[in-house]
Amino acid sequence: MKNFKANASLMLFVTPALIVYFIFKLMPAVSGLYYAMTDWNGINKTFVFVGLSNFIEVLKDSYFWDSVLFTFKYVIVMVFVTNVIALLLAVVIENLHRAKGLFRTLFYMPNMISMIIGGYMWMFIFTKVMYYLADNWGWTFLDKSWIGDPKYAFIAIIVVATWGAVGYLMIIYMAALQGVPAALKEAALLDGANPWQQFWHVIFPMIRHAVTICVFWTLNSGFQVFDVIYSLTGGGPGRATQSTAMNIFEEAFRGNVRYGYATAKSTVLFAIVLVITIIQIRAMQKKEQEA
């Protein structure tokens, strides 16, 4: 009887969160799968059930698959660059004797503003400040079409995305580094290990759980990237920097406004991310167990 009362009280506290989760997460997901099989435009009350025709059209949509390829390219570079820089910053700052709090704050500050705003800020830098430095300071290497050239536009997107994400990852890595026992590092030092050997053979295996978390976060956020690209390049020039999320957005809210077809694209994207996430988690867990 006591256990029943305890469980009932716990359920009472959890129920509001479950209701919110059901309304705003589960219901849209299930209804989205249904609307993916209709020709609904997102406005009209009436629509026609079209079965799997939307999914068949997705398989033939070259623009969609071009955006998927670009997103994969972005994710690969983004996951590697942000995690390497964040881990490097975490190690350097954690070994400082002074101003740790100052540097933590400075690098975390980009997370305090919307990336839409950050993207517009950086667009001003790429289109105005860079040209000013090239013309007036002689920094001719900055005289590039940072937004108009697909090659440089991709670099610009990576720079802005890294600027926005690295501080958050750095905090996670710093928390993990603080959990490494000092005795292990001292033992490695007494055994004659140099700083690189200490990090790779002692510290890094102890923070693999943080690496798993950070890689998982960057992987999933990378596949959903929208705000940085929307504010910086708008998917241009042409469709050269159009992510999958932007492709879906255009399908749903611009042009022909095919909400059902856009939902089918979203379902395909969800399936891709789900498969990759499962593979990534299992691979990282295996590494952690080996360590």
Measured CA to CA, the distance from residue 142 to residue 121 in angstroms comes to 17
The mean per-residue pLDDT over the stretch 193-198 comes to 81
User: What CATH number does residue 217 fall under?
Assistant: 1.10.3720.10
Q: Is residue 14 part of a domain?
A: no
Measured CA to CA, the distance from residue 170 to residue 127 in angstroms comes to 29
Q: Is residue 223 part of a domain?
A: yes
Lowest mean pLDDT among 28-37, 61-70, 81-90: 28-37
Residue 242: the pLDDT is 93
Q: Is residue 11 part of a domain?
A: no
Q: What is the pLDDT of residues 236-269, one digit of tens each?
A: 888 899 999 999 998 888 777 788 999 999 999 9
Measured CA to CA, the distance from residue 28 to residue 34 in angstroms comes to 10
Q: Is residue 19 part of a domain?
A: no
Domain count, the chain: 1
Q: What is the pLDDT of residues 133-176, one digit of tens each?
A: 888 888 888 888 888 888 899 999 999 999 999 999 999 999 99
Report the interhelical angle of 62-94 vs 259-290 (nearest 10°).
40
The backbone region for 82, taken as left when phi is positive above 0, alpha when psi lies in -120 to 50, beta otherwise, is alpha
Q: What residues contact 155, with CB distance under 8 A and at least 6 apart? A: 146
With contact defined as beta carbons under 8 Å apart, do 202 and 193 qualify? yes
Q: Is residue 139 part of a domain?
A: yes
Tokens describing residue 153: 């536009």
Beta bridge mates, 25: none
**Full residue range of the structural domain in which residue 177 is found:** 25-290
Measured CA to CA, the distance from residue 215 to residue 167 in angstroms comes to 14
Q: Is residue 83 part of a domain?
A: yes
Measured CA to CA, the distance from residue 105 to residue 116 in angstroms comes to 21
Q: Is residue 198 part of a domain?
A: yes
Residue 5: the pLDDT is 67
**Distance spanning both ends of the chain, measured CA to CA:** 45
Q: What percent of the chain is modeled with pLDDT above 70?
A: 96
